[in-house]
A and B are shown apart, each in its own frame.
Chain A
């Protein structure tokens, strides 16, 4: 069951990022950076909003200092992990 939840989180996050990048989810590798995907700052803000809506969590993210935030946006994988942590923490 926890494994299933994990896949769901990953799939949903990938789907959200894919939508912003105008790509098919299958074209979003876990090691990709936002730059690789062509997600700019405005698209990132939208993606964070979509993540908050999808998982009913609050992401503390400031577009002024995106890399300083606890929400690690280095790659798709780190974003998925950050979302999983937030879901666990905010349950």
Chain B
């Protein structure tokens, strides 16, 4: 598909690996694990006690008391990542640009921590009133709205909630809006903060969580580990970015989305195949052009097997030449923000020639026999285009391709 070209001119992130995009990329380069014992109220009543929780994070270091009455943690993370991305992009929101610029963020749980705290107060503690701002704090669009307010972005802004694909869907929408001429700049990515008693208790019920670590593609993997955080990017129309002399981190080359239309939790190889093929077609790239895939790679038995089969089907013989890794092994599954955090690894592959590893890789699984960049980052030259996969519960798949500006 042709249209206006879309580039990335800023990135920001906060997650268990670091409090900026640069810190996140540095930790990925080192193969650091951000998975730690969880710390929050009632954690002793959980069977799952580990996660990619951001250590040493103090909201009051970043926001005023008045702001914090309105900001759930997922909003705080989104705002911090957006501020970093906007600063890096150097984008000045003039009166003319304001109406051509917006915010599209992904989240699955929205203000889940706010819900959890307030349900505890009314049900467990028997209180009969809650803070007056509970609704504006918990709503799924709170992060997108606050980003739009702080940066004065008055064009199209909304939130996408498609579970683990939310931020890839959000970035795909941003790409489409700019390519189609409906906007010139969109602040996009995703944010999530489900690490609280109710959030993990619900996941525990599905019995797909690991108690001891996230080991994607490894024969001894036994489930996912949840993380938290956000990553946000500035997507901008190419001529607009060029005219103002912006540094261009990458070009958004293609995007595709499909629905398995089969099962609410079990992934379908077919749906993943169609999404990857669609993204390649949209980007006008041959499979051989992709040097690296940031996998969905949750570390569940079903996802990793199904994803590897899909990659083989799409890439044929090239599947044995490309690299594929799951950075969830390090930052955990950031759910509605995960594709955005993983795009940091994609930009590192393009701009620094470093492929983030899949850590905790202990033993090969014949059903995942691809080059998963085990345990140690790899320095490579000439990676021109990379793919980022997200395959959500509900069978909703979203695949993004970014490439070096040609």
Contact = CB atoms under 8 A, between A and B. Distances in A.
A45 B301 contact: no
Contact of B265 (A42, A49, A62): A42
Contacts of B264: 42
Contacts of A63: 206-208, 223
A41 interface: yes
Contact of B300 (A42, A48, A49, A64): A64
Interface in A4-31: none
B366 interface: no
B205 A64 contact: no
B89 interface: no
Which of B47, B207, B265 counts the most A-chain CB atoms under 10 A from its CB?
A: B207
A31 B324 CA distance: 43
A75 to B, nearest CB: 20
Contacts of B266: 41-42
A34 B149 CA distance: 54
Q: Is the interface of A mostly helix, strand, loop or mixed?
A: loop
Contact of A64 (B47, B223, B265): B223
B69 to A, nearest CB: 37
- Place the interface of chain A in its size category: 10 to 19
B221 to A, nearest CB: 7
B210 interface: yes
Q: Is the interface of B mostly helix, strand, loop or mixed?
A: loop
B301 A65 contact: yes
Contacts of A65: 222, 301
Nearest to A58: B47
A49 B300 CA distance: 20
Contacts of B207: 45, 48, 61-64
A55 B207 CA distance: 19
Contacts of A61: 207
Interface in A32-78: 41-42, 45, 48-49, 58, 61-65
A72 to B, nearest CB: 16
Nearest to A49: B205
Contacts of B205: 45, 49
A64 B221 contact: yes
Interface in B244-270: 264-266
B88 to A, nearest CB: 39
A47 B301 CA distance: 20
A42 to B, nearest CB: 6
A41 B301 CA distance: 12
A59 to B, nearest CB: 9
Contacts of A49: 205
A42 B265 CA distance: 8
A23 B207 CA distance: 25
Contacts of A62: 207-208, 210, 222-223
B260 to A, nearest CB: 15
Interface string B319-350: 00000000000000000000000000000000
28 contacts: A41-B265, A42-B264, A42-B265, A42-B266, A45-B205, A45-B206, A45-B207, A48-B207, A58-B47, A61-B207, A62-B207, A62-B208, A62-B210, A62-B222, A62-B223, A63-B207, A63-B208, A63-B223, A64-B207, A64-B208, A64-B210, A64-B221, A64-B222, A64-B223, A64-B300, A64-B301, A65-B222, A65-B301
Given A42-B264, A64-B208, 6 more contacts: A48-B207, A49-B205, A58-B47, A62-B207, A63-B206, A63-B207
